[in-house]
């Protein structure tokens, strides 16, 4: 409930860009999935630009049009993944799962180089 209020409060001022920094990271998976669906409904009706920071690769692929994978410090863009999966998306869609796996590969490749 608190997350819904936070999102509503952010939208109340009618921003052009909505910044969300790991808003669902402390929620259980069922509640987080519900909130992701609610966020998509809001996005579909309002068409605001959303910059969404997350460490959850599956969440990123499900919500985004582009996923920007960053390096460790000093932080740089490692890769930009373009998510060309039609909406509405299903969390378990093979295309979503495939891009989720690709995003994990990109992160892991970077981790190997920094060891």
pLDDT at 1: 64
Query: For the chain (length 115 residues), average pLDDT per consecutive 10?
Result: 76 88 93 92 90 95 95 91 94 96 91 54
What pTM, to 2 d.p., does this model score? 0.85
- Is 34 found in the same domain as 11? yes
CA dihedral sign of residues 30, 43, 82, 96? positive
- Is 22 found in the same domain as 37? yes
- Is 71 found in the same domain as 103? yes
- Is 109 found in the same domain as 93? yes
Q: How far is it, in rounded angstroms, from Cα 70 to Cα 97?
A: 20
**In total, how many domains does the chain have?**
2
- Is 47 found in the same domain as 75? no
pLDDT at 80: 96
Q: How far is it, in rounded angstroms, from Cα 84 to Cα 115?
A: 32
- Is 73 found in the same domain as 61? yes
pLDDT at 112: 63
The bridge status of strand 49-53 relative to strand 66-70 is unpaired
Range of the domain at 79: 56-115
- Is 66 found in the same domain as 43? no
- Is 69 found in the same domain as 49? no
Cβ contact 61:89 at 8 Å: no
- Is 106 found in the same domain as 86? yes
Q: How far is it, in rounded angstroms, from Cα 81 to Cα 64?
A: 10
- Is 64 found in the same domain as 49? no
């Amino acid at each position: 409930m608190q997350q819904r209020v936070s999102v509503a409060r952010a939208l109340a001022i009618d921003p052009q860009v909505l910044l969300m920094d790991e808003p669902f990271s402390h929620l259980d998976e069922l509640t987080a999935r519900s909130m992701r669906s609610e966020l998509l409904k809001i996005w579909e009706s309002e068409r605001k630009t959303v910059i969404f920071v997350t460490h959850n690769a599956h969440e990123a692929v499900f919500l985004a049009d582009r996923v920007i994978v960053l390096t460790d410090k000093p932080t740089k863009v490692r890769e930009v993944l373009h998510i060309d999966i039609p909406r509405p998306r299903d969390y378990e869609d093979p295309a979503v799962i495939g891009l989720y796996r690709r995003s994990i590969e990109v992160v892991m490749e970077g981790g190997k180089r920094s060891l």
